Amino acid sequence: MIYDLIIIGGGPAGITAGIYAARKKIKTLLITKDWGGQVTKAIEIENWPGIKKISGMDLMKQMTEHLKNFEIEIKEHKEIIDLDKNGDNFIVNDGEEKYEAKTVIIATGKIPRSLNIPGEDQFKGKGVSICSTCDAPMFKDKDVAVIGGGNAGFGVAQDMVKYAHKVYVLEFFEEMKGDPITKEKLAQSGIVEFITNVAVKEIKGTKFVESLVYEDRKNGKNTEINVGGVFISVGMSAKVGFAEKWVELNNIGEIVIDKDNNTKTPGLFAAGDITDIKYEQIVIACGEGAKAVLAATDYLKTK
């Protein structure tokens, strides 16, 4: 079986691509590790047009159900480990099976970045977390630290103010990067302390996290704060090792695309956060997924 299109990824970009491909009636296979991608980690989405407020999990459930309403072949819980070529066609490999297609859309998004500091790995699941949606209730009445003062870190802090006794938000740069309106809401809770211009050096504890050490980047002085939990929210990184041969990457590992979602290899497209498109938002990833299918459909007409 040779597919017209294989879509890799089941986040907003991949799901939208799937919906568009199904409506174009091109023979499509969508392969994904999980459903919903990063959005499932978002507490509340307030910028999806048409819905005033919805949890990330619920929004992605609705998108996935929408996709599954169409006739489209899906392989879930599969991770693509290699992408190769056979003449003009692509061979996509999930480690167990290989699939062939005339075009491929890579929509594999991003995954959380690590700090690479002592204690981070040791206390994972023992006080160190990357997912407040999953773990927040475990930190009821505790003091916790959120590392990262961008919108994602603010999202974690918003979740934690519902449970924690105190929430520290630590930011590497001189100013918090998240939206001022969210910062204001957090400040109003009365339990959030913002600490800027610091580098977190170590997470300490015995069985469970007990404290965190940070360095003031201005004077080099170390401070230790007692916390029972540490949420790491320092951005995301792109991982496209499986396709590296066929795409150009920018200096932060994102796939370089043109305005029609073409990569450097004809027939190979990319969409969403995995690409060098500047803004990383659900509505943008969806738009990019749609564009990639339209471009792939045009490409198929030339074959």
Tell me, letter by letter, the H, E, C secondary structure of the chain. Answer: CEEEEEEECCCHHHHHHHHHHHHHCCCEEEEECCCCHHHHHCCCECCECCECCECHHHHHHHHHHHHHCCCCEEEECCCCCEEEEECCEEEEECCCCEEEEEEEEECCCCEECCCCCCCCCCCECCCEECCHHHHHHHHCCCEEEEECCCHHHHHHHHHHCCCCCEEEEECCCCCCCCCHHHHHHHHHCCCEEEECCEEEEEEEECCCEEEEEEEECCCCCEEEEECCEEEECCCEECCCHHHHHHCCECCCCCECCCCCCECCCCCEEECHHHECCCCCCHHHHHHHHHHHHHHHHHHHHCC
Which member of 134, 179, 258, 260 is catalytic? 134
The single residue of 94, 135, 159, 273 carrying the catalytic annotation is 135
The residue with tokens 């003062």 is: 149
Q: Measured from the CB of residue 46, what is the shortest distance to ligand FAD in angstroms?
A: 7
Q: Which is nearer to ligand FAD, 205 or 270 (CB)?
A: 270
In the complex with ligand FAD, the residue whose CB is nearer, 256 or 283, is 283
Please report, for residues 169, 232, 242, the alpha-carbon distance to residue 200 in angstroms, rounded to integers and kept in the order given: 11, 10, 32
Q: How far is the CB of 151 from ligand FAD (least distance, A)?
A: 7
215, 201 contact by CB (below 8 A): yes
Residue of minimal Cβ distance to ligand FAD: 109
Q: In the bound complex, what is the minimum distance in angstroms from residue 207's beta carbon to ligand FAD? A: 28
Out of 58, 82, 131, 276, the active site residue is 131
Q: Closest approach of Cβ 286 to ligand FAD, in Å? A: 8
**How far is it, in rounded angstroms, from Cα 59 to Cα 47?**
11
CB of 137 to ligand FAD, least distance (A): 17
Binding site for ligand FAD (CB under 6 A): 8-14, 31-34, 37-39, 41-42, 45, 47, 79-80, 107-110, 152, 155, 242, 272-274, 280-283, 285
Task: Find the angle CA(77)-CA(255)-CA(72) to the nearest 5 degrees.
Answer: 40
* Known active-site residue 286: no
Which of 105/198 has CB closer to ligand FAD? 105
Return the active site residues: 131, 134-135
